[in-house]
Amino acid sequence: MFNIPNIVTASNLLSGIISIILSLSGRIDLAPFAIYLGAIFDFFDGFLARKLKKTGELGKQLDSLADMVTFGVAPGVFMLVVLVISIDLISNTGSEIIIKNFPEYVNYVLTNWKNAVFYNVPNDFDSILKYLPFIALFIPFMSLFRLAKFNIDMRQTESFIGLNTPANTIFFTTFPLVLSVEYGIDFYNDNLVFYMFQPSFLVPLIGCMSMMLVSELPMFSLKFKHFKWKGNQLRYIFLISCGLLISFLLVWSIALIVLLYMILSLIENKFLNNIQNEVQS
């Protein structure tokens, strides 16, 4: 039970719990890094299990349980906080955005929101809008079905059908990181950043990306059985592209990387379909 691959999987779970604690403490600037650590553990647990010949049903179940926390609950929690901030941003003109630093601002806004929702304390949060952040819980809701479907879908032994939960979570880490980087009074002078954090943009985005989890879109897996070029061409092309995007765009590259992953999956699927059609004809 307590072999190396399973311990690595459990470390993934702990990373997700740390991310949740950080988010609820107002440190959404740090929460994504716990997610990235969990993603590293998630990447290596299966690889180590195959190399050490420790594969089995227990490891598969542990992996899904850990993923539900790190790539299901955790993104739902930090996106809930992002939606709380987005409501605060549209309720003032920027004069209140600067307190001392970003974590203190997030904690201030989060405290006001909790007081309005759970204690009926009058403050800046609208009586209806204050419930809007709970829409972020649609992410763990759909992640539950995604992970359960993955466990019983025999088509997903080598690749994925639908967006996988780690990719979906990494996509959403863009938002707390951009908030922390762009934090300041100039936030209101940047139209792209300002409108990117409008509830009218975030809510449909959460809905669309969450539905992608249970879609029938074929997507390639990033888990390596070996590190040779042959058989991993698409994976290496993707990873090289990620390195270039990160180098030039920094935190802005994260969402683009996930979109690139989806586009490459579409291209690969169409390419394979064309080959199959040619063989059949």
* Domain definitions of the chain by residue range: 4-219
Q: Are 84 and 110 in contact (CB under 8 A)?
A: yes
From the list 114, 100, 103, 132, the residue with the least C-alpha distance to 28 is 103
**Which candidate, 74, 77, 65, places its Cα nearest to that of 110?**
77
Residue, of 38 and 221, whose pLDDT is higher: 38
The residue to which tokens 């996930």 are assigned: 258
Q: Is the pLDDT assigned to residue 168 strictly greater than 90?
A: yes
101-117: average pLDDT: 89
Q: What is the pLDDT of residue 38?
A: 95
279 versus 10: which is more confidently predicted? 10
**pLDDT, greater one: 183 or 18:** 18
Return the exposure string of 196-232: e unless at least 16 CB atoms fall within 10 Å of the residue's CB, then b: bbebeebbebbeebbebbbeeebbbbbebeeeeeeeb
Confidence of residue 224 (pLDDT cuts 50, 70, 90): low
| Range 177-204 average pLDDT | 80
CATH 1.20.120 describes domain 4-219: yes
What lies within 8 Å, CB to CB, of 275 at 6+ separation is none
- The CA distance from 182 to 194, in Å, is 10
CB atoms inside a 10 Å sphere around CB 22: 24
Say if residues 203 and 87 touch (Cβ distance below 8 Å). no
- The predicted model gives 98-125 an average pLDDT of 84
pLDDT at 22 over 60: yes
CA nearest to 172, candidates 120, 127, 140, 209: 209
Neighbours of 38 (CB within 10 A): 27
Q: Are 46 and 9 in contact (CB under 8 A)?
A: no
* b/e 88-100 (16+ beta carbons within 10 angstroms → b): bbeeeeeeebeee
Residues 238-268: tens digit of each pLDDT: 889 988 998 888 888 999 999 998 888 888 7
Note the Cα 237 to chain centre separation in Å: 22
Do 42 and 63 contact (CB within 8 A), yes or no? yes
Q: What is the DSSP letter of 161?
A: E
pLDDT single digits (tens) 38-93: 999 998 887 787 777 777 778 788 989 999 999 999 999 999 999 999 888 777 64
Highest mean pLDDT among 9-23, 217-231, 263-277: 9-23
Q: Is the pLDDT of residue 275 over 70?
A: no
d(CA 64, CA 42): 10
Higher pLDDT, 216 or 146: 146
Residues 120-129: pLDDT tens digits?
888 777 767 8
Cα separation of 153 and 60, whole Å? 13
Mean pLDDT of the residues in the chain: 84
- Residue 46, pLDDT score: 77
For residue 109, the Cα-to-chain-centroid distance in whole angstroms is 23
Residue with the larger pLDDT of the pair 56 and 7: 7
